[in-house]
Amino acid sequence: MQALEIESRPWGMYEVLLDSEHTKVKRITVKPGGKLSYQYHHKRAEVWTCTKGRLSVVLEDILYDLQPGESINIPLGAKHRAYNDTMELAQFIEVQTGTYFGEDDIVRLEDDYERV
């Protein structure tokens, strides 16, 4: 599947695979040592499915380790982050559902790259 949009981030990159009225789907690649911000959203819930490598996920201050094929549900408003503490790329599919999918619906609580 060809990406509709590709964005680089300090922790890796994401590719938008589907963007519709009620759903957005991204393939997210986290480089070794990369860490997404600890965040929550007002208008969307997410489901993350690990597809490559090992993905560490903090959800409401509880740590989960995902292997390929394993998923985690991130409810609306739940604090969450993903990171890769291995030497290999980690990749996951993020399925967003809700009423709005813009990047400005990210409320960052902690960010290793000092983004606001």
- Summarize the confidence of residues 59-82 as an average pLDDT: 98
HEC string of the chain equals CCCCEEEEECCEEEEEEEECCCEEEEEEEECCCCECCEEECCCEEEEEEEEECCEEEEECCEEEEECCCCEEEECCCCCEEEECCCCCCEEEEEEEEECCCCHHHCEEEECCCCCC
Average pLDDT value over all residues in the chain? 96
CB-based burial of residue 49 (10 Å sphere; 0-12 exposed, 13-18 middle, 19+ buried)? Answer: middle
Looking at residue 48, what is its pLDDT?
98
Report pLDDT digits (tens) over 19-48. Answer: 999 999 999 999 999 999 999 999 999 999
Report pLDDT digits (tens) over 93-116. Answer: 999 999 999 999 999 999 998 876
Output the pTM of the full model.
0.94
Under the banding of pLDDT at 50, 70 and 90, the label for residue 84 is: very high
Under the banding of pLDDT at 50, 70 and 90, the label for residue 1 is: confident
Q: Is the pLDDT of residue 53 over 80?
A: yes
Looking at residue 78, what is its pLDDT?
98
Looking at residue 115, what is its pLDDT?
79
